């Protein structure tokens, strides 16, 4: 995969750099598995039996410390909310193809099986 360019909502200036985009590289096997960062998101069952996607901000940040190509990690620390959320989405998107095919079924048999397992614990 090539680098991903995330256009920002405005120009920023930090550490003698002016930038209006952030360039990210794809996380490596070593980062995902060797360093144990894992996936920044996962499906979890809510109390009512529905499935929700949970995002781990600390994992997103750990990836960003490693994969920001330009302008550098130190420069992105001042990003406003909208632009920070664009970076979060970009990091999670690297993993989306892997998790999309594993999205839990929402059929009634799957949901009831989940509740049955939970009640035995």
pTM for the whole structure: 0.77
Q: Give the ranges where the chain is alpha helix by DSSP (H).
A: 29, 57-67, 73-76, 81-100, 108-120
CA dist 90 and 77 (Å) reads 16
End-to-end CA distance of the chain, in Å?
A: 42
CA dist 26 and 95 (Å) reads 10
The answer to whether 6 and 87 are in contact (CB under 8 A) is yes
The answer to whether 40 and 92 are in contact (CB under 8 A) is yes
pLDDT of residue 116: 37
pLDDT along the chain (121 residues), means of 10: 92 96 97 95 95 97 98 97 98 77 46 39 39
CA dist 97 and 119 (Å) reads 32
pLDDT of residue 2: 80
DSSP 25-38: PPPPHIIIIIS---
């Amino acid at each position: 995969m090539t680098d991903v360019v995330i256009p920002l909502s405005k120009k920023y200036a930090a550490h003698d750099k002016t930038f209006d985009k952030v360039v990210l590289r794809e996380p490596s096997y070593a980062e995902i598995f060797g360093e144990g960062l894992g996936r920044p998101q996962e499906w979890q069952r809510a109390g009512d039996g529905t499935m929700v996607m949970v995002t781990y901000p600390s994992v997103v940040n750990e990836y960003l410390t490693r994969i920001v190509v330009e302008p550098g990690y130190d420069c992105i620390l001042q990003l406003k909310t909208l632009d920070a959320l664009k970076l979060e989405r970009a990091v999670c998107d690297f993993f989306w193809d892997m998790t999309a095919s594993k999205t839990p079924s929402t059929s009634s048999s799957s949901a009831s099986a989940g509740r049955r397992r939970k009640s035995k614990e």
